[in-house]
Each structure stands twice: as structure tokens, then as C-alpha cells.
Amino acid sequence: MTILGSPTLARTEWRPLAQAHEEAADALTAGRRRRAGRGESHAIEDFLYDYYSTRPAQLRRWHPGAGVVLEDALEHAGWKLYRTDAGRTQVDVPAFMAARGSAVDFVERLLRATADRPARLGCFGMHEWAMAYRAGEDIRHPLPLRLGQDGTDAVVESHPIACSHFDAFRFFTPEAVPLNRIQPTRATQIDLEQPGCLHATMDLFKWSAKLTPAVPSALQLEAFALALDVRQVDMQASPYDVSGFGLPAIAVETPEGKREYVERQRDFAARGAALRARILDAITHLRELAEY
């Protein structure tokens, strides 16, 4: 069944859109694919692929989003959570909601709660430092510490730690855990997530991926591009020496570094807010289709 008012795209209309998406995804993932072919890795960029368990091929796959009907779309017809009726293919909304309804509920609650809070911009990226605090041989990333272990520990001990993001906090070293003024848990995630957090912004990719194929692929690809930008700044502001990647440090232990970090954080919060709103709009549209 095609819902009244659902846009229908002929193959000559949707195929150029899919091709443009594939080309954009290829450009974004070129480094990862090249390194994979050589058996190499990149400590900054590859983190996103590994942490979020995603592959370039997944990012390359074009989905128009729920409610868009494609004609002559044999490729999509064979994909999970799609349905084809009389040669017209679209996301199977009832099947999607049956399979992912609880995920939709959680993502919507989390993103609405986050959007309703003001951005807190005073953490100065101390979460990465807390993950390296007194780490010794158990350092999280295979990179040298810019200030050495003693210097890193001194920065942590001289700064307030107030990390609200559970999936960052859970990687704190045992010695750093009690230093955090906030003790987030998975159960309090919706209560604590705030839009100034770099990791909350990166996670917009995760949430858009969980809603695939019901949300347009363009949204997921934008979220991934934003996550790449955030990840770079996250590591520039970390205790690690990233000069080997041609990146200058954002020395958050200094007043100048703090100012730069807050500027970047404010920009990411604005970009994340716009993307978060679009994901929520996509969820609203999905629910409308499910109720039809």
C-alpha cells in the first residue's frame, strides 16, 4: 500500500540522488578504505568506525527515508525493512516500528531532553584527560602524552571534572572516577545529556544509524561528517600528542586553549542542535506514517 501523499520517484529521479550520495560517502571514507587495503590504521579517524561499528559500505548505501516511494528499485527491494507493492518500493514502516520501536522511543526521548537543555561549555575536554589519569601502561590510545604522565596527572588534579556523558565517563581510569563531580550511569543518561558535550554531538551519528532506513541517508552522512570534525577537536584538546597527524594541540591547560576549546564547543553545539532537530523531525514523520 502506498500512503496518500507519499512522494513517488521514478528511477530517473532517484538514481541521481543515490549516485550523489554514494560519491559523497566515498569521498568521506576514502582514507579509511585506503588504510584498510594497506593494513594501516589512523588513531583519530578510525576510532569512529570502530567505536560505532560502522563500515564505509554502510555509509554508502542510499535510503530516501520513510514515506518515499521508489519505482524500479530492485536494489532496495531486497534490503531489510523494505517492502514492494506493484513495482513500488518503500521503507516498511509497520515492520520497522515492530523491530525498532523501542529504539525510536529511546532516541526521541534522549534527543528531546538534550535539545531542551542549555549547552554547558565549561568542561574544557577534561574527559579525555581523565581517561589517561595515572594510566601508566594502560593508556587508552597508542599515542604519546604531550605533557608526559606526570604533567597529565597534574592537569587533571588542578581542574574540576564535570563530565555528564556516561559513555565517556565509563572509560575514566579508576583513579579518575571519584574526581568527577557528576556520576552518570546508563539509567541517568536521558537526565544528564546536554548539547554542549562533544560526545553527545558525535553520538548523533549513532542515533541516526539506529533509525536507518527510516531516516534519509543524507542525514546520517551529515552526522558522520560532523562526528569526524568533533573527533579531531576532541583529540587536539586531549592529553595526546597529535602533531604526527599535522594537527596543532588545543592546550586546554592554558587560558588561550580554554578559549579556543569553548569556541569550538559552541560551534559544534550549534551544528549538533540543527542536526538533532532534523532527526526529531524525521521521527515525528515516521510516527505519522505509522499511525496512518
**What values do phi and psi take at 180, rounded to 5?**
-75, 125
Which residues lie closer than 8 Å to 65 by C-beta, 6 or more apart? 91, 213, 214, 215, 216, 217, 219, 282, 285
| Nearest CA-CA partner of 232 in 19, 42, 12 | 42
Q: Report pLDDT for 5.
A: 56
| Cβ 175 vs Cβ 133: under 8 Å | yes
Please give the mean pLDDT across all residues of the chain: 96
Residue type, 180: N
Q: Cell numbers 596543532 label which residue?
A: 248
Give the pLDDT of residue 1: 46
Detail the DSSP E strand segments found in 1-76. 8-9, 69-71
- Mean pLDDT calculated for residue range 30-35: 96
The number of helix segments (H) and strand segments (E) in the chain equals 12, 4
Q: What DSSP character marks residue 213?
A: T
Residue at grid coordinates 600528542 = 241
Grid cell digits, residue 216: 534519509
In 3D space, the residue among 143, 191, 184, 152 whose CA is nearest the CA of residue 165 turns out to be: 184
Q: What is the pLDDT of residues 247-291, one digit of tens each?
A: 999 999 999 999 999 999 999 999 999 999 999 999 999 999 998
Q: Where are the beta strands (DSSP E) in the chain?
A: 8-9, 69-71, 82-85, 88-91
Q: What pLDDT shows up at residue 159?
A: 97
| Percentage of residues of the chain with pLDDT beyond 90 | 95
How far apart (Å, rounded) are the C-alpha atoms in residues 231 and 213?
25
Q: What is the pLDDT of residues 175-232, one digit of tens each?
A: 999 999 999 999 999 999 999 999 999 999 999 999 999 999 999 999 999 999 999 9
Contact 88, 232 (CB under 8 A): no
How long is the chain?
Answer: 292
Helix or strand run (H / E) with residue 109: helix 93-115
- Here the cell at position 257 is 586553549
The Cα–Cα gap between 167 and 199 comes to 8
- Distance in angstroms (rounded) separating the CA atoms of residues 167 and 201: 12
Question: Which of 217, 220, 223, 211 minimizes the C-alpha distance to 93?
Answer: 211
Global pTM reads 0.94
Tell me the pLDDT tens digit for each residue of 99-153. Answer: 999 999 999 999 999 999 999 999 999 999 999 999 988 787 789 999 999 999 9
C-beta separation of 201 from 227 below 8 A? yes
Pairing verdict, β 69-71 and 8-9: parallel
pLDDT score for 136: 85
